[in-house]
Amino acid sequence: MFLIGTFANAQEPTAWRNGTGGIYNETGLLDEWPEDGPEIIWSYEALGQGHSSVAISGGNIYTSGMIDETGYLFKFTKGGELVYKKAYGPEFSKSWYGTRGTPVVVGDRVYLVSGHGKLTCFNDKNGEKVWEIDMVYNLGGEVLSWGYNETPVVDGDIIYATPGGKKHNFAAFNRHTGEMIWSSTGKGELTAYCTPLLFVHNGRKILATHSESFLMGFDAETGEMLWSHKHPNKFSVHANTPIYHDGGLFFFSGYGQGAGKLELSDDGSAIEHVWSNPLDSRMGGAVLIDGYIYGSGDYARDMRCVDWKTGEDMYTSQEIGKGVVIAADGKLYCYSDRGELALVNVTPEKFDLVSETRVTKGSEQHWAHPVIHEGILYLRHGQALIAYRIK
């Protein structure tokens, strides 16, 4: 469900899956791991319950966790020392307990959407609240079966989020004050656990995200809904952020629904459906590398490589369980819901497994998306945050 990227400049906003669809610009990483897995250089095992990943900015690490039904924002040094642990209010304790979305850090501010739909801005220095918007009470949203699960998107002075209300379905806010800049009625459906994708198409900034049954595209400056594409599934869960490349938009969701690719018109105001594929990742993301998409299924419980142009399957493999896929330095890093952590060569010819270990620290579900930064792989498993040396 969850993760955040990393940037060297603390004034640049962190972004879900690094803002690059889960690809990390790292070099010199290990070609294979020791027999017992990469070295664990530190771990912290008191995060409480949650599935949030980490954000890394300005030499610090941020995540969230739930302890006794209260949500906490955590800040660590890169060496694993706790800087602060700040309570921010009730967290989701009904089903699959714990925190969901990942913090976003930019400059001296930290932003977070709670499982109950509160969009909060914190002071990075001390973790105090600067402003807060209740997207349920104030904007007509609704707490979903499994809570709000969204990492907000920051672009300059604007922050985008998805209340999911009939009137304020998708919205842009001033990130300094919380004042609404625009909102769109969208399709009038509930939000669907999706972190939006902000991309530039022929000079036009567009946001793509899911509601219960539709993939939608919005003009980032005006909030105008440009197009929609029907894409429902059994439980209205669309936790994967789409992937944009060269005028094409790849979208995918679980419960057997599968994936597809759209082609955008020159001005981005219209779409054409190009192909479909069974890749039905529920919440593990996918990566696009050299013309091929790598990800895992849900009902189609396998690792899969798909041709970007044609939608054709290049391979399927069940060597490890379904789960999260990220990439760096010519390798896939796969984290399965069975706790397998695998290193795989990037090739469309086969699932070329190089090394594998198991994540034994932590608790409950293996769902959080790993992050790679400066030769370290950071992995959150429930109450534990683990730092692996992979360089």
- pLDDT 10s digits, 22-45: 999 999 999 999 999 999 999 999
Return the CATH number at 167: 2.130.10.10
pLDDT tens sequence across 164-180: 999 999 999 999 999 99
197 inside domain: yes
Q: Is the pLDDT of residue 243 over 60?
A: yes
What is the mean predicted confidence (pLDDT) over 153-157?
98
1 inside domain: no
7 inside domain: no
Rounded CA separation 135/304 (Å): 37
For residues 370 and 324, is the Cβ–Cβ distance under 8 A?
A: yes
Q: Is the pLDDT of residue 145 over 90?
A: yes
170 inside domain: yes
Q: Is the pLDDT of residue 5 over 60?
A: no
Where residue 2 falls among pLDDT bands split at 50, 70, 90? very low
Q: Please tell me the predicted confidence (pLDDT) of residue 329.
A: 98
Q: Please tell me the predicted confidence (pLDDT) of residue 168.
A: 98
3 inside domain: no
4 inside domain: no
Supply φ then ψ for residue 244, to 5 degrees. -105, 140
288 inside domain: yes
Starting at the edge strand found earlier in the chain, the sheet holding 129-134 runs 104-106, 109-113, 118-123, 129-134
Q: Which two tokens stand for residue 25?
A: 């610009």
Please, which residues have CB within 8 angstroms of residue 240's CB and are 6 or more apart in sequence? 194, 251, 252, 253, 281, 282, 283, 284, 285, 286
Rounded CA separation 215/387 (Å): 35
Instruction: Tell me which residue range forms the domain holding 32.
Output: 16-389
Give the other-Cβ count within 10 Å of 41's Cβ.
12
Q: Is the pLDDT of residue 228 over 80?
A: yes
What is the mean predicted confidence (pLDDT) over 248-255?
98
List helix spans (H) across 32-120: none
Q: Which two tokens stand for residue 373?
A: 């930064």
3-state helix, strand, coil in the chain (%, to 5): 0, 45, 50
Beta bridge partners, 389, equal 39, 376
Q: What count of Cα atoms within 13 Å lies in the side-chain half-sphere of residue 105?
A: 28
Q: Please tell me the predicted confidence (pLDDT) of residue 11.
A: 80
Q: Cβ-count burial of 138 within 10 angstroms (0-12 exposed, 13-18 middle, 19+ buried)? A: middle
Q: Is the pLDDT of residue 10 over 90?
A: no
For residues 2 and 101, is the Cβ–Cβ distance under 8 A?
A: yes
5 inside domain: no
For residues 120 and 103, is the Cβ–Cβ distance under 8 A?
A: no
Q: Please state whether 21 falls in left (phi above 0), alpha (psi between -120 and 50) or beta.
A: left
Tally of structural domains, the chain: 1
pLDDT tens sequence across 90-100: 999 999 999 99
